[in-house]
Amino acid sequence: MTYEYFAITLRELGHTVHFFDYLAEATTNREAMNDFFLSIIKNGGYDLVWVTMCDNQLIPEILDQAKKYSTLIAWNSDDDVRWECYSSIWCPHYTYMVTTYRHIYELNKEKYPNLLLSQWGCTGRYNGLSIRKDIDFSFVGKFYGNRLEELAFLQKHQKMTIYGKKDIHISKKEMIHQLLMTMIGNKKTNQLSEILANEAGVKGIWNRSKISFTPLKSWSSDSLQVKARVFDMGLSGTVMLCESNPLIYEFYEPGREFVEYNNLNECVSKVRFLLSHETERHRIAMAYHKRTNSDHLWKDRIRNLFLQMGLPSKKNND
């Protein structure tokens, strides 16, 4: 995901990009990986080192040394639940740190002047307007929290196609399979499937779906988030059907560019309405597509960040 969002987009903008999978390397030898990380920054002549924050794979002292040789920027995830216990602790070790939560930025920008505000975006590389919508209602993603129960409820009351990633534990997969079979009562109608955990596979489902179920709860709590998929599927031609979350209103207009629900019964009712009113469904999907294309592409997010950091942002040659 991070390679798709950042490395490829930076190359499309005309930058030379070297990708280093520090997460994988750290699982083998954390200390050796950090030594190598510092050495390539010292000798590579890089204008920018972009790090997607995860855990403690990078050593603070190594980061402190590395930012003497280049501009280090950290992209954060889940700051609504991780800011106090994680991101704020690491912030001083980077030249800049990015949060996607406005309230986190507003509350902390004075204490941490290197904190920047941005948001997830859409790559623009999987435009689904010309793709036939042969899936009425779908979900694609990981199973955690109460998603199993939500999907079982929806499958019982409104047939949907469910896709899970291959990194789901087998017990989880069997659990949702059995739960859906109990609710449906007919194995032939079940459409629980697996897809490869890659961006093209996920976006391929969105591109074929008339309506995409978009749960927004955090992996660690019931708090609602602005997830990457809110923007990532914006050019697919699908309708985003998500839990009511005012945080999204800054980016999309409810009822015009997406559809929201307050409970699962309302979710089912809105699916049925949209499927029986194709003109309205298509209108919302097109408005979602237009707004995403104009306001929420990754290339524009990155150009804005470069502007804030005072770095040159090359234009695409297209």
The answer to whether the CB of 116 falls within 8 A of the CB of 98 is: yes
Q: Using the structure block, give the residue that is written with the tokens 């298509």.
A: 282
Alpha-helical segments (H) within 13-169 = 22-28, 30-44, 60-66, 79-82, 88-90, 102-108, 147-157
Q: Residues 107-130: what's their mean pLDDT?
A: 96
3-state secondary structure of 13: coil
From residue 103, how far is each of 57, 99, 205, 259 by CA, in Å?
27, 10, 33, 24
Does 95 have pLDDT greater than 70?
yes
Confidence of residue 314 (pLDDT cuts 50, 70, 90): low
Q: What pLDDT sits at residue 142?
A: 80
> What pLDDT digit, counting tens, does each position of 271-287 carry?
999 999 999 999 999 99
Q: What does pLDDT average to over the chain?
A: 88
Instruction: Compute the distance between CA of residue 135 and CA of residue 209 in angstroms, rounded to an integer.
Output: 5
Q: Residues 85-103: what's their mean pLDDT?
A: 97
Rounded to 5°, angle at Cα 79 from 308 and 197: 95
Does 206 have pLDDT greater than 70?
yes
List the structure tokens of 277: 């009113």
Q: Residues 80-102: what's their mean pLDDT?
A: 96
Q: Of the given ranges (100-104, 153-157, 271-275), which has the lowest mean pLDDT?
A: 153-157
> What pLDDT digit, counting tens, does each position of 227-239 carry?
999 999 999 999 9
Q: Using the structure block, give the residue that is written with the tokens 């592409």.
A: 297
- Strand partners for 135: 209
> What pLDDT digit, counting tens, does each position of 176-204 carry?
555 554 444 433 333 444 544 455 688 89
Q: What pLDDT sits at residue 165?
A: 53
Q: Residues 29-37: what's their mean pLDDT?
A: 96
Length of the chain: 318
List the structure tokens of 78: 């889940």
- For the chain, domains (ranges, CATH) are 2-121+297-309 (3.40.50), 135-295 (3.40.50.2000)
Q: What pLDDT sits at residue 318?
A: 46
Q: What pLDDT sits at residue 113?
A: 97
List the structure tokens of 300: 């524009």
Q: Using the structure block, give the residue that is written with the tokens 């955690």.
A: 144
